[in-house]
Amino acid sequence: MPYLASANPEIQRPVSTSLIVLSVLLALFLNGLPWEGIWLMLRPDFVAVVMLYWCTHKPLRVGIGLSWAVGILADVADASLFGQHALAYTLLAFGGVALHHRLKMFDLRQQTTQVFGILALTYAVYALVHWQVNGYVVWPYFLGCLTSTLLWAPLSIMFQSVRRMRVDRE
């Protein structure tokens, strides 16, 4: 597809459905580890970062609907209100899909700043819903937003190498 060639060839690399499913399941698993105390506050939202990765890299495969469904599963896993994660991840996915053109032009560091904005919005929406329903906000919760952002670069590199491996094998 020469007419689609861009600064970042990563976007065009094919990806198997099993990799997407596996990564989301793994993210749910990592979110589900028994984090406690300060580690719980510092825990990045693995599911959010993985969904954002797929939304920006494969917007036609993973979009708003799928993110919403994953959000519902996250709601069940975390016993949060139905729709709380789903709402946050819907906005996350929209941000990702809207950003995916721009992201092709950026290197990892520039991507990280963009990603921070989307994740901050996601976290803010989640906290806002909680504040509306329960009337208070736990501020250290937003620490997770920073660690999630920091996770973007290593995660991108990891997915890149995994996908490259698969392409080479084919």
For binding to another protein (CB under 8 A), which residues are involved? Answer: 1, 3-4, 12, 14-17, 25, 28-36, 40-41, 43, 58, 60-61, 63-65, 68, 71-73, 76-84, 86-87, 90-91, 94, 97-98, 129-130, 133-134, 136, 138, 140-141, 144
Q: Which is nearer to another protein, 61 or 153 (CB)?
A: 61
Q: How far is the CB of 108 from another protein (least distance, A)?
A: 22
CB of 140 to another protein, least distance (A): 7
Nearer to another protein, 49 or 91 (CB): 91
138 or 165: CB nearest another protein:
138
DSSP 120-139: HHHHHHHHHHHHHHHS---G
For residue 119, what is the DSSP state?
H
* DSSP three-state, residue 137: coil
3-state secondary structure of 13: coil
**Torsion of the alpha carbons at 152, 58, 52 and 105, rounded to the nearest 10:** 50
